Amino acid sequence: MILHIDWHEHTLDNGLRIVVVPQPALHRVSFGLFVGVGSRHESAEDNGISHFLEHMLYRGTARHPSAHAQNLAFERLGGSLSATTHADHTHLHVLAPPESLAASMELLGEVVRMPRLGEIDVEKRIVREEILDDIDETGRQIDADNVVRKLMFGDHPLGYPITGPLEALDGFTEERLRAHLRKYWVASNTVLAVAGSVDPSTIPELANRCFGDMQRGAPADAPAWTDGALGATRRKHVASPGSQTDLRLSWVTPGERDPRGPGIELLLRLIDDGMSTRLYRRLADDSGMVYDCSALWEPFVEVGALDLAAAMSPERLPDVASACIAMVDELAADGPSEEELDKAKKRHRWSVLAALDHADELETLAGGAVLFDRTRGLEAQAARFDALTTGALRDVAREVFARERLYVATVGTLTASGRLALRGLTG
């Protein structure tokens, strides 16, 4: 299966990098800005400002001076604006008909170059509700993912919640937002990705018209990570009412640029990529202990986190935790079977092929590749795991699932037997 598709890159005079992946058979075009700023670039005092600024970019421009007017302008063009803030980047994205590409991109240019940042108190009320969804009535964090990241990364910004705390939100002013915008939303810290039904020869001129006057600035500089910043406490329980307990078993891993990165990513597919893989079969099909479970690898440049997640009745927790540990120990001892490995590799290739049907997936793949200097081109993306063997994955599993790199978080009710079982995992 050869995934040959053109992949065009260009850099504007101000340093803005552009990547275009044309797919003429599609009937949509997807384009977006990948900006190298997120919660890991923040301090404790301004934690959440990247996320709040992302929200405020919906609040209008000079030509469209309200959230409603701006949304209406995009939607009249047949498109829609969406955005997501991550720990290490922010993605501002538009999906539109091909005939609206120029007008939609000009509008996106206005959003990032001349945002109105109006109705700040209204947006604070919205984001406040988002933050409240992750804390209890006393202000304690009850989102298990946030709890375990704080355990793993301690006081390093990788342990910060993306939304930030309520007390930081109260202090965000227009002046602070504009300073954040000037520092990070600059050309040399940004990638413009375009994919779908588009003529790539037209994009550099259009991009220059829309973003050519962005300040060059400098790439974002985040606090360096070392293992010395690892959290000293490796287990935490947050008592919270409810019929189920939320469990996270999370390992601090090498980052995506480490030679073991592809092996970790393929291990994730062996553990959780469909209902026939090891995690769901072990916890649901064979034992009926959970309704839902999942695995995630969140890689950064120099470090990562691999999570096993499940929610269950409190009395089931010891058995669920034991089954998860047995599963990763088996991978570390024996590696996957040849049949498992073949299926995982094929499903990876199929997932890359499926991106050809979706302009937004192509845009995300290309933009992330340029921003983080990943493998370019779809065929190269598809071939990343071809050389990995069962023995190589066994060796990676032995390193990744080392018990001293394991952090455990639970939110809900913890029985005495559950507490004893978790204590045995981390010492």
DSSP for residue 87: S
* pLDDT of 3: 64
pLDDT at 2: 54
- pTM, two decimals, is 0.95
**Mean predicted lDDT score pLDDT of the chain:** 95
DSSP state of 285: I
Residues 6+ apart with CB under 8 A from 20: 7, 8, 9, 10, 193, 194, 195, 198, 200, 203, 366
**SS3 call for 426:** helix
Q: Please tell me the distance from the alpha carbon of residue 6 to that of residue 24, in angstroms, as a whole number.
A: 11
| Per-residue buried b or exposed e for 49-64, using 16+ beta carbons within 10 Å of the residue's own CB | bbbbbbbbbbbbbeeb
Kindly list the structural domains of the chain, giving each domain's residue range(s) and its CATH number in brackets, ordered by start. Answer: 8-211 (3.30.830.10), 233-426 (3.30.830.10)
Q: Going by C-beta distance under 8 Å and a sequence separation of 6 or more, which residues neighbour residue 11?
A: 17, 18
Residue 57 in tokens: 């970019």
Q: CA–CA separation, 48 vs 298, rounded Å?
A: 19
User: Is the CB of residue 116 less than 8 Å from the CB of residue 58?
Assistant: no
How far apart CA 248 and CA 307 sit, in angstroms, is 6
Distance separating alpha carbons of residues 14 and 189, to the nearest angstrom: 11
* Residuewise pLDDT in 10s, the chain (427 residues): 556 788 999 999 999 999 999 999 999 999 999 999 999 999 999 999 999 999 999 999 999 999 999 999 999 999 999 999 999 999 999 999 999 999 999 999 999 999 999 999 999 999 999 999 999 999 999 999 999 999 999 999 999 999 999 999 999 999 999 999 999 999 999 999 999 999 999 999 999 999 999 999 999 998 889 888 888 899 999 999 999 999 999 999 999 999 999 999 999 999 999 999 999 999 999 999 999 999 999 999 999 999 999 999 999 999 999 999 999 999 999 999 999 999 999 999 999 999 999 999 999 999 999 999 999 988 899 999 999 999 999 999 999 999 999 999 999 999 999 999 999 998 7
**Sign (positive or negative) of CA dihedral 348, 93, 368, 144:** negative
> CB of 124 within 8 A of CB of 169?
yes
